[in-house]
Amino acid sequence: MPDEPLTFQGLILKLHDYWSRQGCMILQPYDVEVGAGTLSPMTVIRTLGPKPWKVAYVQPSRRPADGRYGENPNRLHQHHQYQVILKPNPPNLQELYLGSLEAIGIDPLLHDIRFVEDDWENPTVGAWGLGWEVWCDGMEITQYTYFQQVGGLDVFPVAGELTYGLERLSLYLQNKESVYDLQFNEEFKYGDVYLANEEQFSAFEQEVADVETCKRQFEDMEREVRRIVASKGRQGQALVLPAYDHVLKASHLFNIMDARGAIAVAERQSYIGRIRDLCKLCAEAWVQSQGAND
């Protein structure tokens, strides 16, 4: 590790620099609430179809049920994922990935780096893949996946996905116990930026959010997705991307209702199924618009 550990933003900049040199487009975070970097249309939608795709981006990821009012050192209603997608995955993706660890100061002859089986799946978007969680000295620092299906459709050529948990990685690099103590840059701490968010959003998502409103909006979104995806743009294409934004909104509304404790166990599967169906609708329309998925 370098003498001065990377700050939170220093870590992001290093990863941007590294993946940019590997030919990735550095995208901006998606501006609709998502639960994980994978759910951004820049992953879910763009890994479908035959065209190549190479991107890296930071994605704030909202998980209302994980909010702890800023009182827990590493549980957050919103954390940040660093997401890399390479489609088709190059044959040396593992080596490229290990290069990124060296770039952020993790020396594989000092730290124990392991690829531990982890089969990733996300039932909400009908996606699964095989890969590993990557461990550094016993800590999971990255989810590494070869996407096999998204929206219930085969991903071919296969896309390689790397998801780094930025807070966790940063805690490790800076040797801190609490995310709020992380140096965001030399002057500010992570807590200076996000503590207020955690305090307020935890209260909102777990106590204040109005379940009836969420429920109504969920149903609105559900209807909207079907309506939008059936509409045509000026060039005759299905409006997949706007439709998918509404899937994300529905998904976030579901997460808030869940955090409010308003989803009975029996209802849960049904909600997830509804979101998956919407997602599938978008995936199919996208693949159709892209030409044959092989």
Partner 1 sequence: MPQLLLELFSEEIPARMQANAARDLERLAREKLAAEGLLPEALKTFAGPRRLTLVAEGLPAAQKDRHEELKGPKVGAPPQALEGFLRKTGLTQDQLIERDGVYFAHLHKPGRPTAEIVAEMVEAIVRSFPWPKSMVSGVSKLRWVRPLRRILCVFDGQVVPFVIDGIPSGDLAEGHRFMSDGQPFLVKDFESYAHGLAHRYVVLDADERKQRIVETAKTLCFARNLELVEDAGLLDEVAGLVEWPVPVLGDMDPVFLDLPPEVIRTSMRVHQRYFAVRDPATGRLAPHFLTVANIEARDGGVTIAKGNAKVLSARLSDARFFYEEDRKVRLEDRLEKLKGVTFHAKLGSMHDRVERITALASQLAPVVGADEAKAVQAARLAKADLVSGVVGEFPELQGIMGGYYADAEGLDGEVVEAIRSHYRPQGPADAAPTGKVAATVALADKLDTLTSFFGIGEKPTGSRDPFALRRAALGIIRIVLEGRIRLPLKRFVSDEVLEFFADRLAVLLRDQGKRHDLVAAVFALGDDDLVRIVARVDALSDFLKTEDGTNLLAGYKRAVNILKAEEKKGALPVGEPAQMEGAPAEELALVAAVDTVAGKLDSLIGAEDFAGAMAELAKLRGPVDAFFDKVLVNSDNPAERDNRLRLLAKVRDAMGRVADFSQVTG
**Residues of this chain that bind partner 1 (CB under 8 A):** 74, 88-91, 94, 107-117, 119, 129-132, 136-139, 146, 148, 156-158, 160, 172, 264-266
Q: Cβ closer to partner 1: 48 or 239?
A: 48
CA angle 131, 128, 68 (to 5 degrees): 85
Which one, 34 or 171, has the nearer CB to partner 1?
Answer: 171
**Nearest approach, Cβ of 159 to partner 1 (angstroms)?**
10
| CA atoms of 256 and 210, how far apart (whole Å) | 9
We find the least distance from the C-beta atom of residue 155 to partner 1, in angstroms, to be: 9
Q: How far is the CB of 139 from partner 1 (least distance, A)?
A: 5
* Residue 62: CB minimum distance to partner 1, A: 21
Query: E strand or H helix at 23, and its extent?
Result: none
Q: How far is the CB of 274 from partner 1 (least distance, A)?
A: 18
Cβ nearer to partner 1, comparing 109 with 292: 109
Distance of closest approach, residue 56 Cβ to partner 1, in angstroms: 19
Is the CB of residue 55 less than 8 Å from the CB of residue 46? yes
Residue identified by tokens 């997608």 is 85
Neighbours of 196 (CB within 10 A): 11
56 vs 37: CA distance, rounded Å? 10
CA–CA distance, 45 with 197 (Å, rounded to integer): 29
CA 229 – CA 226 distance, rounded (Å): 5
In the complex, the smallest distance separating the C-beta of residue 277 from partner 1, rounded to whole angstroms, is 20
C-beta closer to partner 1: residue 92 or 213: 92
The H or E element spanning position 185 is none
74 or 289: whose CB is closer to partner 1? 74
- CB closer to partner 1, 118 vs 220: 118
Say which residue the tokens 């820049």 belong to. Answer: 42
CA atoms within 13 A on the CB side of 111: 21
For the CB of residue 55, give the shortest distance to partner 1 in the complex, in Å: 17
CB closer to partner 1 out of 177 and 186: 177
Nearer to partner 1, 2 or 138 (CB): 138
The whole-angstrom separation of Cα 195 and Cα 193 is 6
Interior/surface letters 124-163, b for 16+ CB within 10 angstroms, e for the rest: bbbbbbebbbbbbeeebbbbbbbbbbbbebebbbbbbbbb
Cα four-point dihedral sign 142, 88, 85, 231: negative
